[in-house]
Structure 1
Amino acid sequence: MKPHWLLLTTALLAQSAPLMAQTAPEAFFKQKPGTDYYLANYSEYEAYLKKLAGESDRMKLVDIGKTAEGRSQWMAIVSSPANLARLDDYRAIAQKLARAKGVSEAEALQLAARGKAIVWIDAGMHATETVTSQGQIQVLHRMLTQSDAETMRMLDDCIILFAHDNPDGMELVSNWYMRKADPKAREFATLPRLYQKYIGHDNNRDSYMMAMPETENVNRQLFRTWYPQIIYNQHQTGPEGMVVFVPPFRDPFNFNYDPIVMSQLNEVGFSMHSRLISEGKAGSGTRSAARYSTWHNGMERSVAYFHNSIGLLTEIIGGPTPAKIPLVPSTQLPRGDEMMPIAPRDWHLQDSLDYQWTLNRAVLDYASRNRERLLFNIWRMGQNSIEKGSKDSWTVTPAKVDRLLDAAPLKVVGKDEYNRPMGSGPKKIDPALYKTLIEAPGERDARAYIIPADQSDLPTAVTFLNALIKNGVDVERADAAFQANGKTYPAGSYVVRTAQAYRPHILDMFEPQDHPHDTDFPGGPPKAPYDVAGYTLAYQMGVAFDRILDPLPDNFTAVPDVMAPPPGRIEGTGSAGWVVGHETNNSFILTNRLLGAGIRPAWVRQAVTVNGKTMQPGAIWIPASAQARDIVTRGSAELGITAQAVDAPPTGETIALKPVRVGLIDRYGGLMPAGWTRWLLEKFEFSFEQVYPQRLDAGNLAKDFDVLLFADDAMPPTGAWGPDRPSRQPDPKDTPTEYKAMLGAATDARTAPAIAAFVKGGGSVVAIGSSARFIELMQTPLKPALTRAVDGEAKMLDTKSFYIPGSILRARVDNRQPLAFGLPSEVDMFFNQAQTFTPTPGAAGYTNVSWFDGRDLLRSGWAVGQEKLAGTIAVADIDVGKGKLFVMAPEVAQRAQSYGTFKFLFNALLYGPAQRP
């Protein structure tokens, strides 16, 4: 019987005659995919996959899960008929080698000799990058029909997983492009919404968190089912004046993963270049041709490195509308990173698809010729990780190298070609410093991490652990209390050992990222990382954990799969009602369920003692009723919340909550921070409505809303808040009726006065990131803190003096304030080139809720000029007329990852309306 993971649409091979796919794309689709001015949509692609699966004995079709919009996400397994008949065996071999545990070197060699190379090749991650989806149709058909010697060798040696990352996006983009009868009028620049339901382009920033179902579906195949040695993630567009970017990548690479990954990545990359060049396909670039690096863990091809797989990214030009390759003089001279320049010329979609075919073939040829080495090396990397996690080991970081330089500096006479100091003279660094400064005993790598069960927000810690589990990490749970490092941990605590194959990923999720100081030249401005520099997930989520440097006993229970939070409970026998702590994010789900049922909970302003337990300010008081009892009983069990049953209401001042009408500001085309926030509000069961600029400009906002929520960039930045980004709006005459209400842009001239009137009349505005410039638009007592004067205007600081590109900082919190109820006195806060606040002279009418204290704030990532943040405000509660303006400089809900600071946002949504008469 086939295992549950394999949902086949074809009959068992043993019962079928040999088949060869006969239906060519041009015979199935309205036009041949690759034709100018034509895009097949996902429905047609899906139907074609099913057609091929019924015709070919080289392919099996697997439904790997549902998308955010409910479509099936398909994966085609392509190999020789003989291999397809033994898929279970080859998958088991791949799993044993990738996991490495209990597999000796001799056994690994035997398994590698028997196994097949597993190669993942996907398409469509970013739906407006249409080359990949249309090209996969051609690639699939050719791999199923060609019988040349090379194809047959590839099919014999490899099992190829052809997948689609974003079915919903392909359907939207293709249908939008094809909606016009005139081919030359077709475009997708005016898409009305994001091409992934919630997050659009950021669907390739979700790989370690897996908030989106598509990412979880993909990672299940990559790290829990098939364990491919090569993961090829195809994108566009290529560097200007070239055709395609192909690895290797520029530095820095992340110091957590095994260097074998980098060496093999470079091998495959140059094999791809070589094949293009040998076929006369000019215009490929590498390394300095683009800014792609291998530092960040959040992308599909980069999360691969932390799982000992070779992650490939290509970025190619092209699309259904013909274009031209421009003449860029700097690309015309051959060099190491662009070996065969291309002259300017007309370019068609089929040109890109021809390149894509060559690149796919190059990857498969490499996998075929290096089958045994790929299989053995993924074991070797897993074994290296297990060995490092089983003994004392140290990771060399930029900070440690700086210690060496500071302790015994060479006489520097210049820099070499890699921007490293060149020294002269007889003085050398004492080798003994390596042991004292690089391998200090107290700075050993952790052998395990313990997540205590008695932390303040255990459900969030379980969400963090689930992200690890869904990435293939082994997690254990303690059935009884135990001791480690002289500390007693309660039963139910969790253990994550580093002696496992995916150790690089574990370290990257628990330990701070120490991003190198990267500049183009000595003393120059920072060179932007690709995406962000610091993202330690345990820090972002506010998870309490301990690093364990010595061995732990083996008497823990393996967690078999993704977990629900441990059931909560009701303590005490009182009948007046219940008191619930504010520390768990899930308490907001409970609160929203109560409000939705017409029950009015309240927050207790001061700390209270209930049933012998002291509860911090913000404890939630729930008066007794039969309906409330049902919600509290079910909610505590489901959400992992402890409720204290009491005989009398808590003493002291309370803040009575009431149902809240939230307006989430969005714009035509979709705003990614608003999309992430939309997903978050749905997850925590806040009722809300998406609101567009036309409705804001119309005024009378109190009629429909109590709170307006502006995510980062919802109020377009300018001046000290970031560079101007003019809104691109389609022609209203060319916009379908159902989208016309979404048109328009938020402006200072029309939108800001309407928002100010709403707040002064008693409404609340929550403004995050650059949208916090409402402090100026409403003439509040705060102003931007990080500014310089340019031609008499306040602008952002230049990057040479202040540069924090997506990193984690430590902030102080006044958790006696309603905006900070439930938070600790210090919190890790994600900060990405944000602005902060400072009071104007004689300022009054505001409360400093969270601020940066001191000069050494960096917890993870990279920070230039962090001392400039000292004393500036991160989160503030401002009185404006009868209403409230809550400003949050950092992205407190960034990409739905920073669970540790969600409470700032959630409290604000409920608190403002609670204060309104």
Structure 2
Amino acid sequence: MTRSGAMAGAALGVILAFGALGGAIAADITPPDKAFAQPIGSDYFLADYTAYEAYLKTLAGQSDRMKLVDIGKTEEGRTQWMAVVSSPANLAKLDRLKEISRKLAKAEGVSKEEAEKLAAEGKAVVWIDAGLHATETITSQGQIQVLHRMLTAKDPETLRLLDDCVILFAHDNPDGMELVSDWYMRNQDPKTREFNSLPRLYQKYVGHDNNRDSFMSAMAETTNVNKQLFREWYPQIIFNQHQTGPNGMVVFVPPFRDPFNFNYDPLVMTQLQEVGMAMHSRLVAEDKPGSGARSAAPYSTWHNGMVRSVSYFHNAIGLLTEIIGGPTPTTVNLVPDLQLPNNDRPAPIAPRVWRLQDSLDYQMTMNLAVIDYAARNRERLLFNIWKMGDNSIKRGSSDSWTITPTRVETLAAAGKGKPGPYGAAIDPSLYKTVLQTPEARDPRGYVIPADQADMPTVVAFLNALIKTGVDVDKADKAFTIAGKTYPAGSYVVRTAQAYRPHVLDMFEPQDHPHDLEYPGGPPKAPYDVTGYTLAYQMGIKFDRILDGFEAPTSRVPDVIKVAPGAVKGSGSAGWLISHETNASFTLTNRLLKAGAKVQWVKDGAKAGSTDFGPGAIWVPASPAAKAVIEKGVKDLGIDAYAVGGKPSGATIALKPIRIGLVDVYGGSMPSGWNRWMFEQFEAPFQVVYPQRLDAGNIKKDFDVLVFPDGVVPAPQGGPFRAGRAGAQPKPEEIPAEYRAWLGRITDEKTLPKIAEFVKGGGSVVAIGASTRLATALGAPVEIANAKIENGQLKALSNRELYIPGSVLRAKVDPKQPLAYGAGEQVDVFFDRSPTFTIKSDAKGISRVSWFDTDKPLRSGWAVGQEKLKDSTTMLDIDLGKGKIFAFGPEITQRAQSWGTFKFLFNGLLYGPAVSGN
């Protein structure tokens, strides 16, 4: 049933919103049309989070089917609520049901017999969220309706669902719902309402990338959600709702297209297909055509960073739906090829006008289909999540192998057959001699030594694991494995745990299949990135332990606090500090803010037996420095060495800096990630928009400008990926406070002002595609991974070079100031990034990092990677009195690549220190 306008009355509104329930509606619970300014589902109306939150509290005070839980604060300080919905009898024993869910999910020490008993006693736990991507407004508005239905309906189906399930209705992005809804409703004329002109990202820092943060848990909201999913409630089904749907259809519903990740248990995929098809079947049965699966959209199950996909690595069924619609009426388009049904699109839909309530009706059906599946399969779901956890524990306790595309290619080559479903059969003995060689075994665990240089970053890595429910152990005393001794305080991550798939995915390289559009065709674009191994990105030193081992460890109970550092030595001349820790930049920023002097010792220094490499940090003694260092080393977990004399050799004296972080109207996600990083590391910055750059005299306000990936526009088809180029509103269409954010960086107006800034002694840090600035400003470099066609510089074709988000290893010159503290090799995140060739007659340019091999791939997928050999990835360029630092790889990728943060931090401090001299 659909609705074309405002509801005529409360009773009629409830019937239209919820359909025939087959039973009475509870009269003492406020319906949505009485709680909001207009009925939910009305055209041109969106409720905001303030009203939504008030309604949740009203419902919690009226219903015995709901418990309202505060799961944490958002980045803007709002409360993130979760409504726990079930029968009154179940709510009375929530602690017991939660404990059953935990025991079965973790599986540790639970026998098959006990699992069967627990499964019989427990209730299926289903997570259904809303609002993650705030401009996808249907999910939040629909949650209001489904909540009311579950709290009021008395029909047999609803009562059965409540008896057999605990449903966790959560909101992922309260800040975004408030922003988007209020922006949409700001205009009195409904026909002028829109949210395409939002001035900023709908999550404080990262916008849409809040659904790429699941394994990192950098954002507060992600941490709150992960705690409920993998440390509190352990749901068997996680339903993450999105829009918009495919053109000419209504909604994408699982199953997904290949490839799936090779680390997780296959049972999670077969169950996912069951739930997805149950959703399709209910839609079709209720005469709701237009759903599609698999080939209907590009969604796969490879990447670990999304709410529904991180679920697979935790043995839970992760669902994603993408539906059309919104508060402004639209249409279902007519696409001829979609009018023929097939297995992926069983019921085509005719073109028609589409309204918000139409989408909410579909959303209601899909919610009920998921809960109904969980109720009908309650015991099986509970037992199977134990089964998958038990499988993981067994695999982590014995020799096991993960078969990947590279190993299959090796097998085919060994047998002179062809990989794939149509390949020739080969000698079966090769299965063991090729696929199951001893050295190819999966690790029994990983040891992270406590004596590595950057332990605060190690702690950040471990906390990312812990926030996603991984068990981490810490050694109480020194121990030895395979002849190597590890100090007390080292960390151990065993793979004999339920979340083994997630552990492997964070430590081991992703081996993405060579996926083609058709045999012999070009690469088929992945859904998001292909390689993201977090241990590599963060520069963590660890050992893979292939055999069974013992270690004197105890379980880390919660997120880890960095162990306090100390001031060592008794000298009075000043302090030496290692450049190898990211936290040293926080300390440096504090020292400069306090007016203390800070220098980098170019050739390094020594303090007793401690050898500091190039760029050792030297802080001459002063009262201001002493106060900052004594407090800072404790807070940050780094050591300072008090020495009796200034180190010999040349130094670079640092200065207080003024950073301009470039952003654009509507918000750039890379810029947002950088903003979050700058706040974490206490860097002094302001956000700057194109109008300010165009005004010139930049040096008056800033010493260094940071251009994150994509904020500098680039021509289509060229070697630089085009930046954000969406339509901008007219100034008179938006509030005055946002008008200074409008504008674009242009070659004609902005580049001359940037050139003036640099040549006059300013510094520019350009990342990813924004390194176009280097060539545009006349740096003596050429783009290595490009070609000339018809006199135009063009990107190499996907058949020639295709690296759609992978981790590559690069060579580094650690004596270069940009590379201080980084070592001689580094893993970089590379996503169709530019690389460079320095012109033969170039002057005033230094090569900081480059690819020195024809096989730099560490994790992910790379077609034509050999073409990168000898090309340069990072450059230190003199231009007039200033500096340009060009970083081709995305050195701040989603705030995951801590191993390359140093290059950015060094550039921020180094450029202003030497420019203008």
Segment drifting more, 657-666 vs 720-729: 720-729
Structure 2 match to 1:435: 432
d(CA) in 2 for partners of 1:775 and 1:175? 41
d(CA) in 1 for partners of 2:184 and 2:874? 43
Aligned 1:205-354 pairs, distance under 5 A: 205-354=212-361
d(CA) in 2 for partners of 1:665 and 1:44? 34
1:19·1:56 contact (CA, 8 Å) conserved in 2? no
Counterpart AA for 1:152: L
Structure 1 match to 2:783: 784
Segments of structure 1 that go 5 or more residues without pairing to the other structure are 1-17
Structure 2 match to 1:594: 591
1:602·1:654 contact (CA, 8 Å) conserved in 2? yes
TM-score (norm 2): 0.96
Structure 2 match to 1:765: 764
Shift of 1:841: 3.6
CA distance 1:409–1:737, shift in 2 (3 Å): same
Q: SS of 2:127's equivalent?
A: strand
d(CA) in 2 for partners of 1:648 and 1:722? 50
d(CA) in 1 for partners of 2:275 and 2:859? 31
Q: SS of 1:252's equivalent?
A: coil
Counterpart AA for 2:740: A
Structure 1 match to 2:31: 24
State the superposition RMSD in angstroms. 1.1
Q: SS of 2:804's equivalent?
A: coil
Structure 2 match to 1:94: 101
2:847·2:872 contact (CA, 8 Å) conserved in 1? yes
2:663·2:689 contact (CA, 8 Å) conserved in 1? yes
TM-score (norm 1): 0.96
1:21·1:52 contact (CA, 8 Å) conserved in 2? no
Deviations 1:309-341 (A, max 9, x none): 000000000000000111111111001100000
CA distance 1:117–1:727, shift in 2 (3 Å): closer
Shift of 1:727: 4.2
Structure 2 match to 1:479: 476
Tell me whether 1:507 sits opposite 2:504 in the alignment. yes
1:727·1:745 contact (CA, 8 Å) conserved in 2? no
Tell me whether 1:580 sits opposite 2:577 in the alignment. yes
Shift of 1:568: 1.1
Structure 1 match to 2:179: 172
Counterpart AA for 1:884: K
Shift of 1:790: 2.8
Deviations 1:368-390 (A, max 9, x none): 00000000000000000000000
2:722·2:769 contact (CA, 8 Å) conserved in 1? no
Question: Among residues 602, 605, 625, which one is paired with 2:602 in the alignment?
Answer: 605
Structure 1 match to 2:860: 861
d(CA) in 1 for partners of 2:550 and 2:262? 29
1:20·1:55 contact (CA, 8 Å) conserved in 2? no
d(CA) in 2 for partners of 1:519 and 1:892? 28
Tell me whether 1:639 sits opposite 2:625 in the alignment. no
1:194·1:671 contact (CA, 8 Å) conserved in 2? yes
Shift of 1:554: 5.0
Question: Among residues 386, 389, 394, which one is paired with 1:382 in the alignment?
Answer: 389
| Structure 1: 4+ residue segments shifted above 4 A | 18-21
Shift of 1:717: 2.1
Q: SS of 2:719's equivalent?
A: helix
Structure 2 match to 1:496: 493
Deviations 1:179-209 (A, max 9, x none): 0000000000000000000000000000000
Structure 1 match to 2:514: 517
d(CA) in 1 for partners of 2:837 and 2:487? 44
Shift of 1:723: 4.2
1:775·1:783 contact (CA, 8 Å) conserved in 2? no
Shift of 1:19: 8.4
Deviations 1:73-128 (A, max 9, x none): 00000000000000000000000000100000000000000000000000000000
Structure 1 match to 2:910: 911
Structure 1 match to 2:399: 392
Structure 2 match to 1:527: 524
d(CA) in 2 for partners of 1:203 and 1:723? 22
d(CA) in 1 for partners of 2:94 and 2:377? 20
Structure 1 match to 2:650: 653
Shift of 1:642: 1.3
Shift of 1:626: 2.3
Structure 1 match to 2:192: 185
2:479·2:552 contact (CA, 8 Å) conserved in 1? no
d(CA) in 2 for partners of 1:40 and 1:82? 32
1:78·1:162 contact (CA, 8 Å) conserved in 2? yes
Q: SS of 1:720's equivalent?
A: coil
Question: Among residues 538, 552, 557, which one is paired with 2:554 in the alignment?
Answer: 557
- How many residues end up aligned between the 2 structures? 890
Deviations 1:530-573 (A, max 9, x none): 10000000000000000001122252111111011122112211
Counterpart AA for 1:547: R
d(CA) in 1 for partners of 2:101 and 2:184? 41
2:72·2:224 contact (CA, 8 Å) conserved in 1? yes
Aligned 1:97-112 pairs, distance under 5 A: 97-112=104-119
Shift of 1:725: 5.5
d(CA) in 2 for partners of 1:511 and 1:533? 13
Structure 1 match to 2:20: none
d(CA) in 1 for partners of 2:173 and 2:723? 31
Structure 2 match to 1:9: none
Structure 2 match to 1:363: 370
Counterpart AA for 2:250: V
Tell me whether 1:203 sits opposite 2:207 in the alignment. no
Tell me whether 1:721 sits opposite 2:720 in the alignment. yes
Counterpart AA for 1:158: C
Shift of 1:724: 6.9
Shift of 1:429: 1.3
2:711·2:723 contact (CA, 8 Å) conserved in 1? no
Counterpart AA for 1:650: P
Counterpart AA for 1:308: N
d(CA) in 1 for partners of 2:861 and 2:530? 6
Structure 1 match to 2:704: 707
Counterpart AA for 2:178: E
CA distance 1:490–1:570, shift in 2 (3 Å): same
d(CA) in 1 for partners of 2:554 and 2:564? 18
d(CA) in 1 for partners of 2:399 and 2:435? 13
Structure 2 match to 1:13: none
1:20·1:56 contact (CA, 8 Å) conserved in 2? no
d(CA) in 2 for partners of 1:809 and 1:761? 36
d(CA) in 1 for partners of 2:480 and 2:653? 43
d(CA) in 1 for partners of 2:582 and 2:270? 43
Structure 2 match to 1:123: 130
Give the share of equivalent positions with the same residue, in percent. Answer: 64
Shift of 1:20: 6.8
Structure 2 match to 1:696: 693
Question: Among residues 597, 621, 624, which one is paired with 2:621 in the alignment?
Answer: 624
CA distance 1:711–1:630, shift in 2 (3 Å): same
Structure 1 match to 2:800: 801
d(CA) in 2 for partners of 1:789 and 1:710? 26
Shift of 1:643: 1.0
d(CA) in 1 for partners of 2:118 and 2:422? 46
Counterpart AA for 1:248: P
Structure 2 match to 1:468: 465
Counterpart AA for 1:322: P
1:35·1:350 contact (CA, 8 Å) conserved in 2? yes
d(CA) in 2 for partners of 1:781 and 1:268? 57
Counterpart AA for 1:181: Q
Counterpart AA for 2:544: R
Counterpart AA for 2:503: I
Shift of 1:720: 2.1
d(CA) in 1 for partners of 2:492 and 2:147? 43
Structure 1 match to 2:17: none
Counterpart AA for 2:687: Q
Segments of structure 2 that go 5 or more residues without pairing to the other structure are 1-24
1:768·1:887 contact (CA, 8 Å) conserved in 2? yes
Counterpart AA for 1:431: P
